[in-house]
Chains A and B, each alone.
Chain A
Amino acid sequence: GENVEQHPSTLSVQEGDSAVIKCTYSDSASNYFPWYKQELGKRPQLIIDIRSNVGEKKDQRIAVTLNKTAKHFSLHITETQPEDSAVYFCAAKAGQAGTALIFGKGTTLSVSS
């Protein structure tokens, strides 16, 4: 089955700096790669996603890149703000509705002002 590795486990940056979180996946059939932000005790919130037919996607300060050959994808957050502090999870799945997302172990991002 799919295995998703995520690094780093913790990341501390100064407000205004950029943050990068990286994930690798094992199943070459995976074709959907979302990123979630989770605050304590709450459900994961989708912040950006990318499908395998696209190499990069951007939404304001957040971007995701995908390298299918190397089986890795990354989350880039620019101009970080204290409210970006949270736990971020990457995930991967193959196919559409019938298969489950498999999550990485998470990255705790701390943005200090």
Chain B
Amino acid sequence: GAVVSQHPSWVICKSGTSVKIECRSLDFQATTMFWYRQFPKQSLMLMATSNEGSKATYEQGVEKDKFLINHASLTLSTLTVTSAHPEDSSFYICSAAGPSSYEQYFGPGTRLTVT
């Protein structure tokens, strides 16, 4: 149980375009989902926390107009990178927590490359 999927697993896009990444909890309802970004040889940095049906809470320094997060249901959250630039190239990982769980369940990640 507690499986989280992400789609796509990797994507290449041109500078200036937008990319949407989906995060799904497959066998449980996730009241809260989290988005992290990981640059090469660095740690996971929290970008935002999203709760189903409400606006996401962004960490300091993360542009909310550039990284659009939608948590429309208890099993789906999406991250849209708008007007992507090469510096947005990174490994994006979502995670989900159930309503009574300490543990966060991680998706497999999405490798974004902006050319």
Give A contacts to B, CB under 8 Å: 32, 34, 41-44, 46, 49, 51, 89, 93, 96-106
In the complex, which residues of chain B have a beta carbon less than 8 angstroms from the beta carbon of A89? Answer: 43-44
Cross-chain contact B97 with A41 (CB below 8 angstroms): no
Interface positions, chain B 65-98, Cβ under 8 Å from A, are 91, 93, 95, 97-98
In the complex, which residues of chain A have a beta carbon less than 8 angstroms from the beta carbon of B101? Answer: 96-97
**Contact A103-B43, Cβ < 8 Å, known A41-B111, A97-B97:** yes
Shortest CB-to-CB span from B102 to chain A, Å, is 4
In the complex, which residues of chain B have a beta carbon less than 8 angstroms from the beta carbon of A101? Answer: 34, 46, 95, 104
A44, A97, A103, A104: the one within 8 Å of B100 (CB): A97
Cross-chain contact B91 with A100 (CB below 8 angstroms): no
Shortest CB-to-CB span from B24 to chain A, Å, is 14
Cα A89 to Cα B109 with chains together (Å): 16
Size class of the B contact interface (CB-based, 8 Å): 20 to 34
Q: Assess whether B31 is interfacial by the CB under 8 Å rule.
A: yes
Could you give 20 example pairs across A and B, Cβ below 8 Å? A32-B102, A34-B103, A43-B93, A43-B106, A43-B107, A43-B108, A44-B44, A46-B103, A49-B103, A51-B102, A89-B43, A89-B44, A96-B97, A96-B101, A97-B31, A97-B32, A98-B32, A98-B51, A101-B95, A105-B42
Cα A100 to Cα B34 with chains together (Å): 7
**Contact A93-B102, Cβ < 8 Å, known A41-B91, A98-B32, A100-B34:** yes
Cα A70 to Cα B107 with chains together (Å): 33
**Contact A41-B109, Cβ < 8 Å, known A100-B49, A103-B44:** yes
